[in-house]
Amino acid sequence: MGCSSSSTKTRRSETSLRAALIIQNWYRGYKARLKARQHYALTIFQSIEYADEQGQMQLSTFFSFMLENYTHIHKEELELRNQSLESQQDMRDRRDYVDLIDVPDSYNGPRLQFPLTCTDIDLLLEAFKEQQILHAHYVLEVLFETKKVLKQMPNFTHIQTSPSKEVTICGDLHGKLDDLFLIFYKNGLPSERNPYVFNGDFVDRGRNSIEILMILCVSFLVYPNDLHLNRGNHEDFMMNLRYGFTKEILHKYKLHGKRILQILEELYAWLPIGTIVDNEILVIHGGISETTDLNLLHRVERNKMKSVLIPPTETNRDHDTDWKHNKVGVTFNAHGRIKTNGSPIEHLTKHEWEQIIDILWSDPRGKNGCFPNTGRGGGCYFGPDVTSKILNKYQLKMLIRSHECKPEGYEICHDGKVVTIFSASNYYEEGSNRGAYIKLCSGTTPRFFQYQVTKATCFQPLRQRVHTMENSAIKILRERVISRKSDLIRAFQLQDHRKSGKLSVSQWAFCMENILGLNLPWRSLSSNLVNIDQNGNVEYMSSFHNIHIEKPVQEAHSTLVETLYRYRSDLEIIFNAIDTDHSGLISMEEFRAMWKLFSSHYNVLIDDSQVNKLANIMDLNKDGSIDFNEFLKAFYVVHRYEDLMKPDVTNLG
């Protein structure tokens, strides 16, 4: 009897154990599938982000092309916007910017007292937590004072740590103020005992870039030896035009926003390009290349690097007499060199410019060697061998960089010699990634601290958070697809020899990658983008179901609408560059001339008459001018939200 009872208990225990193992294995598989789906969604976000940056980098060649050709078409009326070139004088008198702007008694925001103290940091933090706006008078004064101090600093800041004085390294913040608040809450405010390095990309994308910049600049002015600011690739006024900071400034500071932007352009150019910790850790925003020369970078005149979109142009000194003048004192020659008020603008040499581009834009990869960064269009991909070579050459032990969103907020590669740190949590979508920062102390291993700003969605189950990410990723991917609808249909039809309207998944995936060039796992994504029949073939026209680009006028050809939608960000930057009085209006003649250059340079095969006809229709009051911002906003994508994926069928894995 006793033996039978013992045997029964044993069998029950074995059954319970098997059940537990089955549940455990199922749950592990379930979690792995969710992680795979999350990974695919992040891949979509990142591929599209880098493709946009590639387009931004390509604008640099267009601006050179424009300078060489635009005056031949329209030489009497061209005045390139001051921001697109070089400030017409080193700096406007401070009184024109700060002292003439009064702070009214009715202003109830923070009032800063110069010289600044730690009290002003606290004041600013509390005000921004209450969503107050700092008055333009104080913004301009902070920017002036920051620029004055930055001008005295070297290209690379050298700092020392000790057991009693660790340094905290933060990566990209991208206007996400809650992340900065959380870092200060967890790690303490900057002080002489608590130094920080902020490794670039403070601005763009997020909604609170100016607040982050003000907190960092005020903290820098209070603790200039203990808070260090490195330049990122988004500390660039041309990048700000595309990625949101310019619009944020003009929205929050309608009266004085343009003055703020002008001073920001110069402040960016004076930001240091790197930090060296304990003579052994290099902290730069992007990365390195096989030709990175730290000796050259230590002595280069960094303030000449105004924008990645304004590369140095080769000139022929024998043709200095061949200058073409316009009415405002800005002159061009056939080689595109620029003079302002009769004096040549000083540029970096092409080699110096490329050196800075490499440290701002490059990314590490697992493959040995150094090859062009085709994803972003600027900088390079550098392998473990390049890292070892450069670190050994300059007696360094580690490279800390930012520039890339990582799911866990940081990533270690190249045998522990390269660390990526990214401090903007929820960067692509709520729950998409953690943020992190590093604490360094001489002679000890770096310590990583992770966090994530918690909103309501962060308390949802992982399945729902992944579904939210997937929906958002698929939405922006569909927008990319519809912008190339005509090109994709032609590619599909070339593969569809039987004219059946169907292709194999492999053929469909080949067409998608060939046209869109996003380097995505199209076969895995197919079930979320197209209808697949019972034989496993793709109904390729379903690629465009439930989404279309709204036409501002029905007469517009589909190909033209797709092209204007696809290039709308580039065109907005270009039109802003020739908007002489910042009115948002350009003449029909300017519009036609710029489109002719743009279509020629980008090889856009659209009849100019189509564009002219559309522009005439969009000239609503028939005064010969176009509101180009409204013109470009007229092209937008419409989704049928009721057909978006349901949580139970969404699956990118």
DSSP helix/strand/coil, 131: coil
Alpha helices of 160-285 — where are they, by DSSP H?
A: 177-187, 209-222, 237-243, 245-252, 257-270
b/e burial code for range 492-525 (CB count within 10 A of at least 16 → b): beeebeeeeebbebebbbbbbeebbebebebebb
Q: Which of 137, 228, 234, 414 is catalytic?
A: 234
For residue 198 the two structure tokens come to: 């902020």
Beta bridge partners of 413: 418
For residue 295 the two structure tokens come to: 């000796």
Q: What amino acid is encoded at 113 in this protein?
A: Q
d(CA 420, CA 169): 11
**DSSP letters along 609-625, please?**
HHHHHHHHHH-TT-SSE
User: Among 239, 375, 247, 243, which Cα is nearest to 305's?
Assistant: 239
d(CA 553, CA 618): 9
3-class SS letters over 282-308: EECCCCCCCCCCHHHHHHCCHHHCCCC
Angle at the Cα of 595 from the Cα atoms of 556 and 555, rounded to 5 degrees:
10
Which residues, in sequence order, are CB contacts of 146 under 8 Å at separation 6+?
217, 220, 221, 267
Which residues, in sequence order, are CB contacts of 361 under 8 Å at separation 6+?
57, 233, 286, 287, 308, 373, 376, 378, 379, 403
DSSP helix/strand/coil, 477: helix
Backbone angles phi, psi at 342, to 5 degrees: 85, -5
Which residues, in sequence order, are CB contacts of 72 under 8 Å at separation 6+?
none
Which residues, in sequence order, are CB contacts of 113 under 8 Å at separation 6+?
119, 120
Which residues, in sequence order, are CB contacts of 79 under 8 Å at separation 6+?
326, 327, 328, 330, 578, 580
Based on the residue annotation, tell me whether 467 is a catalytic residue of this protein: no
DSSP helix/strand/coil, 427: coil
Residue numbers annotated as active site:
234
